[in-house]
Structure 1
Amino acid sequence: MDFKYVPSTCPYCGNGCGVNLVVKDGKFVGISPWHRNPVNEGKVCIRGNKSYEFVNNPDRLVSPLIKKGDKFEEASWEDAYKEIANAFKAVKGDAIGVVASARNSNEDSFVLKNFAANVLKTANIDYCGRRCNADAVKGLADAFGNGATTNSLADLGEAKAILIIGSNPLEENPLAGRRIILAKLNGAKIIVADARTTATARLADLHITCNPGTGVALVNGIITAIVKAGKEDKDYIAKHTKDFEKAKAAAASCTPDAVAKAAGISADVVTKAAEIFAAAQPAAVVTSAGAGSGDLIRALANLQMVTGNVGKAGSGVNLLRGKSNAQGAADVGAVPGEGGLTVPAMIDAAAAGKIKALYVVGENIASAGAHVSDALSKLDFLVVQDLFMTETAAKANVVLPSASFAERDGTVTNAERRVQRIRKAIEPVGSAKPDWQIISEIAKAMGHEKDFAFKDAEAIFAEIAKIVPAYAGITYAKLEKPEAIQWPAAGGVFGTAILYTDKFATKDGKAAFAAVEYKAGEAAGGEFPLAVAAQWPMGTLSTKTESIMREWPEPKVHINVEDAKGLGILNGAAVKVTCKAGSVEMVADVTKDIKKGVVSMPVSMGVAAVKIEKSAGGN
């Protein structure tokens, strides 16, 4: 019997937990703790622990497929490449779009970016996860100089107070949630702003049940209360920041009473939150890229500058990520070039007939709704590269089988900027290949062999380290230890655990306050009386994991018991959820753990207000 452990990185959320892949007789059979990895110290949530299940799922794509009429037929790689090359050559660059993935490795995204720019001659490249990351990343970059989390996850354990807003770490990023539990055990005060009584909210010393979309008002209210009490860090503000007065003036209208009215909370709660946060040193902010608008991120950055909570352990703005390589995909350039289109803009352009061909690598964009599916149907040519026959792949002209994270080498960069290895543990299923290899071979089929003659993933990473300044000095050899390296790499020796300990990455070395004003969004009322709080949806990997589907077999809409009673809806009943964009049927979870007037459903719905009614034939 052949038995081995192969150290790697979990393919799910942006925590980047270290895992040991257990391989028996050439098959990936389980996960074993990797205690030395500093991110999770051997602990793993259900997703990482059961990751071998989707890798071994019998629905995996095993060979290239070419659509003939309405049906797919198995094809050789040579024939698939020929089909793709001919189709891409027939389309002008600005009529082609490329969609990368925040789950692909740095090497995949780097090669795809170069393929788009140098072979397809298009600036239309974007990664799907960026649509919920872009504003948050820009907010951090504008404030501090880098569009990345300021601190390490382990730092949370040193905080004396933690404000959590727009995030539910204990359920969405569980090993980040563990650090918050450790902080509480060390005496930290936890403040959670959420209309739901989540697992994270149950941990809170102060749970603020603010209405969805009022986070900016709340944070501005906390800032205003701190300044009014004279508790701002005047010395830090003077030495390390600029434009404080502008931010102060913009936040001034958010008095405790004004925030209470907007957010549906008590004014005393705002004052209490300000007192807790101002009294704690250090204090940290935790939010999520998907839930954090640019204004919210800038407001949170303002709060941390007001209190001097940047550049030290237990402080900073900690931006949690939903996908394993959301940070790395941006780092290596899988973003629109000059004049290039974002993913939503590509979809609109496809619907309008301006984008004629699309190359989608590792994303199921059709799951976002009927408008995306309709737009894809208008394309002349669609190539999809993935592990499974997703809704997007079903619409493709050519489908190519990707190797999973356990079947390839590469790197991913987690939310705390830690560049870590993924290592090949088993052979790919069927004739599946790593994404970078497939992309390179398509390039060769289109006459660009010289620029894509990569020997392996390590050779690609060497190119990344030459071109991406933050990665300079990092090599595969220096990533062998479980601690890996956090960028910027300080010559590739130790990395940087905490940003801005000396100065900010701005031109003048100072952080920039922003004049963030609270702007009320779409309010619930009239035809759509229920506000929506975002719920993390399950994606392709989770739905192909048997253990996860047993626990969460279907998406649910969580509704307050009083709202449900008024609508005549029973727990477990089928209901119709309607917004301006359309309707969907779901199962009702009637609960006391959500604020009256608010419902929670998967974030992919992307709506602010809905109405709910009993489904035809439902209870």
Structure 2
Amino acid sequence: MEFKYVPSTCPYCGNGCGINLVVKDGQFAGISPWQRNPVNEGKVCIRGNKSFEFVNSPNRLTTPLIKKDGKFVEASWEDAYKEIASAFKAVKGDAIGVVASARNSNEDSFVLKNFAANVLKTANIDYCGRRCNADAVKGLADAFGAGATTNSLADLETAQAILVVGSNPLEENPLAGRRIIIAKQKGAKIIVADARKTPTARLADIHIACNPGTGVAVVNGIISAIIKAGKENKDFIAKKTSNFDKAKAAVASSTPEAVAKIAGIDAALITQAAEIFAAAQPAAVVTSAGAGSGDLIRALANLQLVTGNVGKAGAGVNLLRGKSNAQGAADVGAVPGENGLAVPAMIDAAAAGRIKALYVVGENIASAGAHVTDALGKLDFLVVQDLFLTETAAKANVVLPSASFAERDGTVTNAERRVQRIRKAIEPVGTSKADWQIICDIAKAMGHEKDFVFKDAEAIFNEIAKAVPAYAGINYAKLEKPEAIQWPAAGGVFGTAFLYADKFSTKDGKAAFAAVEYKAGEAAGAEFPFMVAAQWPMGTLSMNSASIVREWPYPVVAINKEDAHAQGIINGDAVKVSGKAGSVVLAAKVTAEIKQGVVSMPAGFAAAAVKLEKVTEEA
């Protein structure tokens, strides 16, 4: 019997927790704590702890599949490449789209970007996670100069106050949530704005149970109250920022009383939150890329600039990410080129017949709804590269089996800009290959042999370090230690724990305030009386992990107990949830931990207001 421990990085959320893969007789047998890793210090949530389950799933794709007469048949790699090369050569650049993944490695996304630009001749490349990340990342870039989280996750422990808006870290990013727990134990005051009494909200000293979509109003109210009390950091604002007067004017009408009416809360909560936050040094804000609209991010940036809480430990805007390499995919350029289409626009173009072919690497875009499935059905050619036969793969002409994170080498960059290694621990299942290898093989089949010759993943990373300024000086040897390196790397000698200690990355070196005003979204009304607070949905990896499925066997809609009683709904009932975009049937979770007039359901159902109908057996 042979055991070995291979240090790697968890493939789930953007925390980038360090884990040791336990290999027994050549098989991925489990996870062992990696105590020295600074991200999680050996602690792992259920997803990372059970990551060996999806790797070992019997549902893994093991050989290429080609669809013939409506059915998939197993094929050789050579035949699959010929089929793909022939189809891609027949499509002009602007009629083809490429979808990358925020859970693939930096090396995969870098090679895919170059494949799109130099082989397919298309600017239509995007990673699916940007659908919920793009506005948030742009907001950070516009405010501070770089589209990235400003601080390290460990900094949260040192904050004296933490405001959480649009995020539920204890469930969504548990090891970031752990840092908030430690901060509270050290005396920090926690403020949480959420319509639900989530595990994170239960930590709060102040829980602002605001209506969904009113986070901007709440943050503006806190800023307004701080300015009115004369507690803004005048010296910081004068020396390090611009446009303060515009931001001040934009929040002037956001009095606690005005915000209370918008958000459905007690006005005193806004005043109390402002007093706590203004008095705390340092103070941090935490939000999620999935919930963080551009306006919310700019409002949070304004709050941190008003209080001088940028450019030091324990402060900043902490943007949590849903997938392991959401930051890295953007860093290495898996984003639309000039005049290129983002993922939603590619779907619309496919539905309209302008996009003829699509190459999807590691994403299940069909899970977003029937409109995506319908659009995929109108394509002339679809290639999907993944671990499993997802809903998207089922629509494909050719499906290619990817190697898992445990079966290949590479790097990923977590939410705090930490570039970390993933390391090959076992051999790939069947004939599956690393995504970058498959992309290179397709390029060669299309006549681009010389441009896509890489000895290994390390050779690709060396090219990334040359092409991406923030990665300059980083190499695999410098990533061997568990601390790895947070970009910018300062020539690879050390990383940067928090940004903007000296100046901001804007042209003038100053942070830019923004005039952010609350814009009301779709409101509940007679037809759709309930507002929706989004839950984090389960994805491809989780659904192929038996332990996770046992804990969360099916999606639910959380309903306030009073609302449920009025609707004749009891816990476990099948409920049809309908909005303007369509309907879905979910199991009811009747609870007191959500405010009346609000329901909570997986984020994949794009609706702001809905109605509920109990599904009867007769129906």
**Cross-structure match for 1:113:** 113
Q: Is the 8 A contact 2:577 2:584 kept in 1?
A: yes
**Cross-structure match for 2:211:** 211
**For the residues of structure 2 that align with 1:75 and 1:193, how far apart are their CA atoms?**
52
Q: Is the 8 A contact 1:574 1:618 kept in 2?
A: no
Q: Over residues 368-421 of structure 1, what are the superposed CA-to-partner deviations in whole Å (9 max), with x where a residue is unaligned?
A: 000000000000000000000000000000000000000000000000000000
How many residues end up aligned between the 2 structures? 619
**Cross-structure match for 1:17:** 17
**For the residues of structure 1 that align with 2:25 and 2:452, how far apart are their CA atoms?**
34
Q: Over residues 438-481 of structure 1, what are the superposed CA-to-partner deviations in whole Å (9 max), with x where a residue is unaligned?
A: 00000000000101001100000000000000000000000000
**Cross-structure match for 1:193:** 193
**Cross-structure match for 2:492:** 492
**Cross-structure match for 2:513:** 513
**Cross-structure match for 1:144:** 144
The amino acid of 1:340's aligned partner reads G
SS of 1:604's partner is: coil
**For the residues of structure 2 that align with 1:478 and 1:357, how far apart are their CA atoms?**
40
CA deviation after TM superposition for structure 1 residue 131, in Å: 0.5
Q: How is 1:378-527 mapped onto 2 (pairs within 5 angstroms)?
A: 378-527=378-527
SS of 2:336's partner is: coil
**Cross-structure match for 1:235:** 235
Per the alignment, do residues 468 and 563 of structure 1 end up closer, same or farther by CA in structure 2, a change over 3 Å counting? same
**Cross-structure match for 2:362:** 362
SS of 2:115's partner is: helix
**For the residues of structure 2 that align with 1:183 and 1:128, how far apart are their CA atoms?**
33
**For the residues of structure 2 that align with 1:451 and 1:510, how far apart are their CA atoms?**
41
**For the residues of structure 1 that align with 2:38 and 2:458, how far apart are their CA atoms?**
23
The amino acid of 1:462's aligned partner reads N
SS of 1:375's partner is: helix
SS of 1:585's partner is: strand
SS of 1:517's partner is: coil
**Cross-structure match for 1:102:** 102
Q: Structure 1: which 5+ runs fail to align?
A: none
**For the residues of structure 2 that align with 1:136 and 1:618, how far apart are their CA atoms?**
45
**For the residues of structure 2 that align with 1:530 and 1:69, how far apart are their CA atoms?**
45
**For the residues of structure 2 that align with 1:106 and 1:612, how far apart are their CA atoms?**
43
Q: Is the 8 A contact 2:581 2:606 kept in 1?
A: no
The amino acid of 1:465's aligned partner reads A
**For the residues of structure 1 that align with 2:617 and 2:28, how far apart are their CA atoms?**
44
**For the residues of structure 2 that align with 1:406 and 1:606, how far apart are their CA atoms?**
33
Q: How is 1:282-361 mapped onto 2 (pairs within 5 angstroms)?
A: 282-361=282-361
Per the alignment, do residues 17 and 173 of structure 1 end up closer, same or farther by CA in structure 2, a change over 3 Å counting? same
**For the residues of structure 2 that align with 1:246 and 1:551, how far apart are their CA atoms?**
49
Q: Sequence identity, in percent?
A: 84
RMSD: 0.7
The amino acid of 1:420's aligned partner reads Q
**For the residues of structure 2 that align with 1:537 and 1:149, how far apart are their CA atoms?**
23
Matched, 1:592 2:595: no
**For the residues of structure 2 that align with 1:93 and 1:462, how far apart are their CA atoms?**
28
CA deviation after TM superposition for structure 1 residue 525, in Å: 1.0
Q: Is the 8 A contact 2:571 2:589 kept in 1?
A: yes
**For the residues of structure 1 that align with 2:71 and 2:493, how far apart are their CA atoms?**
53
SS of 2:559's partner is: strand
**Cross-structure match for 1:258:** 258
Q: Is the 8 A contact 1:131 1:344 kept in 2?
A: yes
Q: Is the 8 A contact 2:149 2:416 kept in 1?
A: yes
**For the residues of structure 2 that align with 1:175 and 1:236, how far apart are their CA atoms?**
32
The amino acid of 1:206's aligned partner reads I
**For the residues of structure 2 that align with 1:95 and 1:317, how far apart are their CA atoms?**
38
**Cross-structure match for 2:576:** 576
**For the residues of structure 1 that align with 2:507 and 2:379, how far apart are their CA atoms?**
44
SS of 2:129's partner is: helix
Taking structure 1 as the reference length, the TM-score comes to 1.00
Q: Is the 8 A contact 1:575 1:618 kept in 2?
A: no
**For the residues of structure 1 that align with 2:404 and 2:519, how far apart are their CA atoms?**
43
**For the residues of structure 1 that align with 2:526 and 2:298, how far apart are their CA atoms?**
32
**Cross-structure match for 1:90:** 90
CA deviation after TM superposition for structure 1 residue 616, in Å: 3.2
SS of 1:392's partner is: helix
The amino acid of 1:469's aligned partner reads P
The amino acid of 2:123's aligned partner reads A
Q: Is the 8 A contact 1:573 1:618 kept in 2?
A: no
Matched, 1:123 2:123: yes
**For the residues of structure 1 that align with 2:288 and 2:295, how far apart are their CA atoms?**
13
**For the residues of structure 1 that align with 2:551 and 2:242, how far apart are their CA atoms?**
50
Q: Over residues 103-139 of structure 1, what are the superposed CA-to-partner deviations in whole Å (9 max), with x where a residue is unaligned?
A: 0000000000000000000000000000000000000
The amino acid of 1:15's aligned partner reads N
**Cross-structure match for 1:541:** 541
The amino acid of 1:227's aligned partner reads I
Q: Structure 2: which 5+ runs fail to align?
A: none
**Cross-structure match for 1:41:** 41
Q: Is the 8 A contact 2:444 2:452 kept in 1?
A: yes
**For the residues of structure 2 that align with 1:387 and 1:615, how far apart are their CA atoms?**
35
The amino acid of 1:398's aligned partner reads V
The amino acid of 1:121's aligned partner reads K
**Cross-structure match for 2:166:** 166
**For the residues of structure 2 that align with 1:315 and 1:606, how far apart are their CA atoms?**
33
**Cross-structure match for 2:177:** 177
**For the residues of structure 2 that align with 1:618 and 1:403, how far apart are their CA atoms?**
46
- Runs of 4+ with deviation above 3 angstroms: none
SS of 1:133's partner is: helix
**Cross-structure match for 1:376:** 376
CA deviation after TM superposition for structure 1 residue 607, in Å: 1.1
**For the residues of structure 2 that align with 1:575 and 1:496, how far apart are their CA atoms?**
49
**For the residues of structure 1 that align with 2:603 and 2:239, how far apart are their CA atoms?**
40
SS of 1:295's partner is: helix
Q: How is 1:260-275 mapped onto 2 (pairs within 5 angstroms)?
A: 260-275=260-275
The amino acid of 1:346's aligned partner reads M
SS of 1:353's partner is: coil
**For the residues of structure 2 that align with 1:345 and 1:410, how far apart are their CA atoms?**
30
SS of 2:571's partner is: coil
**For the residues of structure 2 that align with 1:252 and 1:49, how far apart are their CA atoms?**
48
SS of 2:459's partner is: helix
The amino acid of 1:10's aligned partner reads C
CA deviation after TM superposition for structure 1 residue 618, in Å: 8.2
**Cross-structure match for 1:68:** 68
**Cross-structure match for 2:221:** 221
**For the residues of structure 2 that align with 1:384 and 1:616, how far apart are their CA atoms?**
39
Q: Is the 8 A contact 1:559 1:600 kept in 2?
A: yes
The amino acid of 2:9's aligned partner reads T
**For the residues of structure 2 that align with 1:197 and 1:501, how far apart are their CA atoms?**
36
CA deviation after TM superposition for structure 1 residue 253, in Å: 1.2
**For the residues of structure 2 that align with 1:396 and 1:109, how far apart are their CA atoms?**
21
**Cross-structure match for 2:277:** 277
The amino acid of 2:6's aligned partner reads V
